[in-house]
Amino acid sequence: MARILIVDDEENIRNVLREYAEFEGHVVTEAVDGMDAVMHVRENDYDIILMDVMMPKLDGFSAVKEIKKTKDIPVIMLSARVEEYDKLFGFEIGVDDYVTKPFSPKEIMARISVILRRGKQRGKFVVSDGLEIDMAGRNVIVDGKKVVMTPKEYELLFYLVNNAGIAISREKLLNDVWGYDFYGDDRTVDTHIKMLRASLGPYRNKIITLRGLGYKIEI
């Protein structure tokens, strides 16, 4: 059972998501806009948030940024906007997933399950040149400075490190890191690899592109 906050200005969408979530045993709270969502989060704790992007008073992106100032709650963005820029911006501000409308409620429930059961990597500390990766503490240090990354960047990096030296296809990365049958194209992986390389700075070349296949990391 999880405590889920559903934020959408469309009542029909809230009702459908609530029905599916409650059927799976979750406890659901609804908010009608971003400002309403922020107020709910200030007064209550949630295990995950489903957040629409385009809403009155306060849009979803702004609401997420406000929420992340005080609480680290996983967020799945729901949006009719399919542009890569919007998805990239969402990941940069810390959302865990980005789903475009129209969507299948069953797919949303599957994504919720993946995020909820995703455990942190524990007990692994890797040092390579000036790059330090502390999976237990969820820290990445580059030349003595802590790097702040998005949740998906951490997961992608930890997955690559756990499979260091092994060639991994984009499809496998989508299945294992995103954890569901991905509805879209594998450019999602390429986008996150680009973000991860930027975060690693001088050690970006440790992530190697395997043309026509995917990626691997050399530690």
In this structure, are 21 and 84 located in the same domain? Answer: yes
Contact partners, residue 149, CB within 8 Å, separation at least 6: 140, 157, 195, 196, 199
Give the per-residue pLDDT at 138.
Answer: 83
- Tell me, what DSSP letter sits at residue 113? H
Question: What does the pLDDT profile of the chain (219 residues) look like in tens digits?
Answer: 889 999 999 999 999 999 999 999 999 999 999 999 999 999 998 989 999 999 988 999 999 999 988 888 889 999 887 777 888 888 888 888 889 888 899 999 988 887 776 543 445 778 888 898 988 778 899 999 999 998 889 999 999 988 888 899 998 898 888 875 555 566 889 999 999 999 999 999 999 999 888 999 988
Tokens of 58: 């306060």
Tokens of 118: 């995703």
Give the per-residue pLDDT at 123.
Answer: 52
Question: Considering the entire predicted model, what is its pTM?
Answer: 0.59
Task: Please state, in angstroms and rounded to a whole number, the distance separating the CA atoms of residues 170 and 149.
Answer: 21
Q: Which residues of 3-38 are buried (b: 16+ CB within 10 A; e: fewer)?
A: ebbbbbbeeebbeebbebbeeeebebbbbbbbbbbb
- Tell me, what DSSP letter sits at residue 120? P
In this structure, are 133 and 202 located in the same domain? Answer: yes
Give the per-residue pLDDT at 126.
Answer: 80
- Which structural domain range is residue 153 located in? 125-217
Which H or E run includes 22?
helix 11-23
In this structure, are 133 and 72 located in the same domain? Answer: no
In this structure, are 153 and 207 located in the same domain? Answer: yes
How many distinct structural domains can be found in the chain? 2
- Closest-CA residue to 121 (of 168, 176, 41, 195): 176
